Amino acid sequence: MAAGAASGGSAKSDTYAEARTWLLLPAWAVLGIFVLAPVLMMLVYSFLTKEFRGGVIWDFSFAAYDQFFCNRGLFGDEPCSIEWTYINIFWRSIWQAGAATLLSLVIGFPTAYFIATRPEKVRPIWVFLITIPYWVNLLIRTVSMKFMLRDQGPLNDFLISTGLIDTPIHIVNTNFAVQLGLFYSYLPFMVLPIYASVERYNFNLSEAAADLYASKWVTLRRILLPAVKPGVIAGCILVFVPSLGSFLAPDLLGGAKNFMIGSLIEEQFKGNAGNWPFGAAASMILLTMVLIILLIFARQQAKAEKGTG
Amino acid sequence: MARGKNDIKSFPGFLPMTILCLVILYAPLVVVTIYSLNDSNSITNWEGISFRWYADVFTGPESEKFKIAAWNSFTIAIIAATVSTTIATLAATAMVRGGRFRLRTVSFGLISLPLMVPEIVTAVATLIFFNSIGFTRGYLTILMAHIAFCIPFAYMPISARMQGIEDSYEQAAMDLYATKRQAFTKILMPLMLPGIISGYILAFIISLDDFIITNFVKGAGVETLPTAIFGSVKQGIKPNIMAISTMLLAVSIIMVTISYFVSKSDNTK
């Protein structure tokens, strides 16, 4: 992603310059009111007092963050020691999202590379094939995955019929099922940016390395990989970030034991826990983490851009 | 040592990996489609092909629920796509044809905000927002949330298209005494049509498919197809859910295919 892309590409002309305020006003209004203002309101709510069965009382309080980070004993009157329950849920989410990202990279990199080295005419068709599943309802895809992985599901039937296993492998309601679900949800996000950078890669460089007796794999590792690194990082972020806050895969494939951030937040608003300030605080912590990741990424991309340009 | 250029480019094992990738992406969808045709009350045993579960979606015990959910889903998707595409087209015109200006980067950041904020966070924030202003949750809250998060999806193909159109067409029209408004409606818009259609379709699909935000802002009693399906799936995957999922899957794939071919068509020549 070029620095230009971060600001939405360059302006092509200034034909409608004097009308631009009016042209942008609807977008500013709708996004300001229904996305930006809600996020700010969420920040406010995270500092309010909870009301039972959902909602808030307008009294300023640190209780939500205190509950998140502090263990104050059975009666809540001890000094703060670190509370691990929620940190562990965040940690598990990072771990799960990381595993899904790695899985996507292992499958996605060869795929992206393969597509980028096809004749120019057929590349868009391959790319289209990879993107179609993304546009299919995430809920339906996750349900399909659950159907596939069930103990009596097609995957186990297939493995048993080939004689590889005798008894069904229990996959649903394990950590691995969640990783598979996340991997399946966001795999196209890994392929597309890597594809874009391999496509721009100048293969004469590999040619030159080969002329100097570098083996193919050395060329891949030492010449191609550094050149396409921005695409690889972009792909990893595009898989990792949505995986981190995902709700459907852990909820449908993970069961109660494999709780992730998304489920923790959902429970505060939809479930019986009903602690809105705490849900708002957990959301703020997740949002902060994501924004920090995106910021570091944007910095790096800008640096890489300066380096090559 | 003779070697072709492709020799350097190709690695053993990359083709099988690509095939594996496609199998992983498509196998679950194909399997659900096949099992939606299963003439059996259980989802496990295969008892031959029939369309009974498709009939069940329209006439079975849950048909009334699905009909209302489908009505909500499709009307919301149509209105949200129409409004967000209009807003995105105007915004893209300012961004691509509005010269350089101070708030340009901020505007782009605002437009892409729904793509950066995790969906569950947007869902929580929207719920809190409607609660804090005392707005009763229901059809209208779903619609407003959908309009907002559909904007970036409509914006991307529209602005990409506008980047690709030289402004000489509009300049020529204005040299011939067309007003700016005429140059916009008579020249730019027709050239933009493929981008606008593909933006509209993407916004439509995104709205139709959304579960997480809808689930938070829908309020009691109002269901869309994804929330109705989720509710059913919580009690176990039933054959009629496979049938309705397959239909929704088909709608998405058909729409994306149309969008792909429309955006590929070049009407500037």
* Secondary structure letter of residue B136 according to DSSP: P
Phi, psi (degrees; rounded to nearest 5) at A54: 90, 160
Among the partner residues A32, A154, A216, nearest to B11 by beta-carbon distance? A216
Note the pLDDT of residue A166: 82
Do B253 and A132 meet the contact criterion of CB atoms below 8 Å apart?
yes
- Mean pLDDT within B104-117: 91
Chain B contact for A39, CB < 8 A?
Answer: yes
- Residue A82 pairs in a beta bridge with A70
- pLDDT tens-digit readout, A146-168: 988 888 888 888 888 888 888 88
Do A210 and A219 meet the contact criterion of CB atoms below 8 Å apart?
yes
Give one DSSP letter per residue of B137-164, joined into a string.
PSHHHHHHHHHHHHHHHHHHHHHHHHHT
Chain A contact for B147, CB < 8 A?
Answer: yes
3-state secondary structure of A82: strand
Q: Which residues contact B124 (CB under 8 A, 6 or more apart)?
A: A42, A265, A269, A279, A280, A283, B216
d(CA A202, CA A112): 16
Calculate how close chain B gets to A52, using CA atoms only, in Å.
15
Which of A103, A131, A135, A190 is the best substitution to test chain B (most B C-beta atoms within 10 A)? A135
Do B96 and A12 meet the contact criterion of CB atoms below 8 Å apart?
yes
Cα atoms in the 13 Å half-sphere on the side-chain side of B194: 16
Token digits for B20?
A: 């594996």
Q: Does residue A273 surpass a pLDDT of 70?
A: no
Residues of B in contact with A247 (CB under 8 A): 119-120, 212
Calculate how close chain B gets to A77, using CA atoms only, in Å.
30
d(CA B127, CA A268): 12
A9 pLDDT band (50/70/90 cuts)?
A: low
Q: Which residue of B has its CA nearest to A3?
A: B105
Token digits for A262?
A: 């998304």
CB proximity under 8 Å: A 56-95 to B: none
Among the partner residues B8, B21, B252, nearest to A107 by beta-carbon distance? B21
Give one DSSP letter per residue of B92-108, joined into a string.
HHHHHHS---TTHHHHH
Calculate how close chain B gets to A256, using CA atoms only, in Å.
13
- pLDDT tens-digit readout, A49-103: 988 777 888 889 988 999 899 888 888 788 888 888 899 999 999 999 999 999 9
CB atoms within 10 A of CB A226: 9
Do B225 and B69 meet the contact criterion of CB atoms below 8 Å apart?
yes
Which of A1, A12, A45, A285 is the best substitution to test chain B (most B C-beta atoms within 10 A)? A12
Note the pLDDT of residue A26: 95
Name the residue with tokens 């892409």. Answer: B112
- Mean pLDDT within A131-145: 91
A205 pLDDT band (50/70/90 cuts)?
A: confident
The average confidence (pLDDT) of chain B is 88
Cα atoms in the 13 Å half-sphere on the side-chain side of A180: 23
Chain A contact for B24, CB < 8 A?
Answer: yes
Note the pLDDT of residue A1: 35
Q: Does residue A292 surpass a pLDDT of 50?
A: yes
Q: Is A5 left (phi over 0), alpha (psi -120 to 50) or beta?
A: alpha
Note the pLDDT of residue A8: 59
d(CA A265, CA B207): 22
Residue A16 to residue B117, Cβ atoms within 8 A? no
Token digits for A192?
A: 């597309």
- Mean pLDDT within B56-71: 89
Residue B108 to residue A8, Cβ atoms within 8 A? yes
CB atoms within 10 A of CB B58: 13
Note the pLDDT of residue A265: 93
Query: Which of A186-190, B245-249, B258-262 is least confident?
Result: B258-262
d(CA B100, CA B4): 47
CA nearest neighbour of A198 among A232, A160, A164, A243: A232
Chain B contact for A188, CB < 8 A?
Answer: yes
Residues of A in contact with B249 (CB under 8 A): 136-137, 140
Task: Provide Rg for chain B, Cα atoms.
Answer: 23
Note the pLDDT of residue A54: 76
Cβ burial of B230 (10 Å; 0-12, 13-18, 19+) is buried
* Secondary structure letter of residue B80 according to DSSP: H
CB proximity under 8 Å: B 45-84 to A: none
CA nearest neighbour of A236 among A297, A150, A175: A297
Residues of B in contact with A145 (CB under 8 A): 28
CA nearest neighbour of B214 among B64, B83, B72, B20: B72
Token digits for A170?
A: 């229990």
Note the pLDDT of residue A103: 95
d(CA A64, CA A181): 31
Name the residue with tokens 């949330």. Answer: B145
3-state secondary structure of B196: helix
- Residue A70 pairs in a beta bridge with A82
d(CA A172, CA B158): 41
Residue A27 to residue B91, Cβ atoms within 8 A? yes
Q: Which residues contact B128 (CB under 8 A, 6 or more apart)?
A: A38, A41, A42, A45, A276, A280
CB proximity under 8 Å: B 90-109 to A: 90-91, 93-101, 103-105, 107-108
CB proximity under 8 Å: A 148-177 to B: 148, 152, 154
- Mean pLDDT within B41-59: 82
Calculate how close chain B gets to A195, using CA atoms only, in Å.
12
Token digits for A295?
A: 């910021």
Do A131 and B253 meet the contact criterion of CB atoms below 8 Å apart?
no
* Secondary structure letter of residue B122 according to DSSP: H
Name the residue with tokens 């092509």. Answer: A12
Q: What percent of chain A has pLDDT over 90?
A: 49
Calculate how close chain A gets to B57, using CA atoms only, in Å.
16
Note the pLDDT of residue A4: 42
Reported ipTM: 0.88
Q: Which residues contact A117 (CB under 8 A, 6 or more apart)?
A: A198, B6, B9, B10
Which of A15, A276, A287 is the best substitution to test chain B (most B C-beta atoms within 10 A)? A15
CA A229 to chain centre: 18
- Mean pLDDT within B76-105: 93
Calculate how close chain A gets to B105, using CA atoms only, in Å.
5
B239 pLDDT band (50/70/90 cuts)?
A: confident
B268 pLDDT band (50/70/90 cuts)?
A: low
Task: Provide Rg for chain A, Cα atoms.
Answer: 24
Phi, psi (degrees; rounded to nearest 5) at A225: -55, -45
* Secondary structure letter of residue B221 according to DSSP: S
d(CA B230, CA A251): 11
Amino acid at B235: Q
CA nearest neighbour of A178 among A90, A246, A235: A246
Among the partner residues B32, B95, B202, nearest to A8 by beta-carbon distance? B95
Residue B90 to residue A24, Cβ atoms within 8 A? yes
CA nearest neighbour of B118 among A89, A246, A249: A246
Q: Which of A171-180, B34-43, B163-172 has the highest mean pLDDT?
A: A171-180
- Mean pLDDT within A10-39: 90
- Type and span of the H or E element at B130: helix B119-132
